[in-house]
Amino acid sequence: MFKQTVIIIWLLCLLPVSARADFEEGMKAFQGGFYDVALKEWLPLATDGDVGAQIGLGMLFAAGKGVIADDFESEKWFRMAAEQGSALAQLNLGSIYRNGRGVVRDPVEAVKWYRKAAEHGLAEAQFNLGNMYEEGEGLAEDCEEAIQWYTQAAEQGLVLAQAALGSIYAGGVGVPQNEVTAYLWWSLSSEQGHKIAEKNLGILRSRMTTEQLLEGEELVKAWKKGSH
């Protein structure tokens, strides 16, 4: 929700002054839990093509806030915003098609929208696209592509991607097994509270040599000193 709110606020700078004021009123209402007021403020803007308001309506209908939950309506508003290039809407639309919410489940369509959002740099979309490559869902299984997208998301700090990379390198899935690299990614994800990564890291530590542990710690330090 925090990321969604940040992106919506960023969209304010694209609006005319009068529309921006209406959007802000809707945003204040949304943050305060007055979802019916947010709906009233955003609906005219969304109908006129405002991306931020369309995303807002998509979230309201998806969660049933201020309205009766309606997956069909949620898909409609997210699609409008996605077709205007919103990465957040593209991410949500990808998830709608992957899970079949309000539409017939369509992994190929999900890949299409995840890829658009991933190419915009959205870490969650990069992770989801990587996962679909890993699972061979909606496209041919490709470990190299999965690792590429997971890495882009992990380098932005996405904990799920970091944990996934730890498992990939520890198991040698699509890459040569590398316990030191696995140590890096599981260390970073466990520091963010990922319990499975924390458990796996403990097991990994018990079988690593002193030299490997030192090398792993150096990797962690180097990563933290970088611009991640």
The confidence score (pLDDT) of residue 227 equals: 58
Q: Between 127 and 19, name the one with better pLDDT.
A: 127
d(CA 39, CA 165): 40
Confidence tier at 122 by pLDDT (50, 70, 90): very high
Q: What digits encode the pLDDT tens for the residues 43-55?
A: 999 999 999 999 9
Mean pLDDT of 182-205: 97
Total residue length of the chain:
228
| Close Cβ partners of 98 (under 8 Å, ≥ 6 residues apart) | 105, 107, 110, 114, 128, 132, 137, 138
d(CA 176, CA 222): 22
Q: Are 110 and 135 in contact (CB under 8 A)?
A: no
The confidence score (pLDDT) of residue 37 equals: 93
The confidence score (pLDDT) of residue 226 equals: 84
The confidence score (pLDDT) of residue 1 equals: 38
Question: N- to C-terminal Cα distance for the chain?
Answer: 22
Chain-wide mean pLDDT for the chain? 90
pLDDT of residue 199 exceeding 90, the answer is yes
Q: Residue type for 226, please?
A: G
- Predicted TM-score (pTM) above 0.85: yes
Q: Are 143 and 125 in contact (CB under 8 A)?
A: no
| Close Cβ partners of 181 (under 8 Å, ≥ 6 residues apart) | 165, 169, 219
Q: What digits encode the pLDDT tens for the residues 173-193?
A: 889 999 999 999 999 999 999
The confidence score (pLDDT) of residue 23 equals: 84
Q: Between 9 and 123, name the one with better pLDDT.
A: 123
Q: Which of these, 135, 82, 69, lies nearest to 112 by C-alpha position?
A: 82
Q: What digits encode the pLDDT tens for the residues 136-179?
A: 999 999 999 999 999 999 999 999 999 999 999 999 988 999 99
- 85 φ/ψ sector (left φ>0, alpha ψ -120 to 50, else beta): left
Q: What digits encode the pLDDT tens for the residues 10-41?
A: 444 444 444 567 788 888 998 999 999 999 99
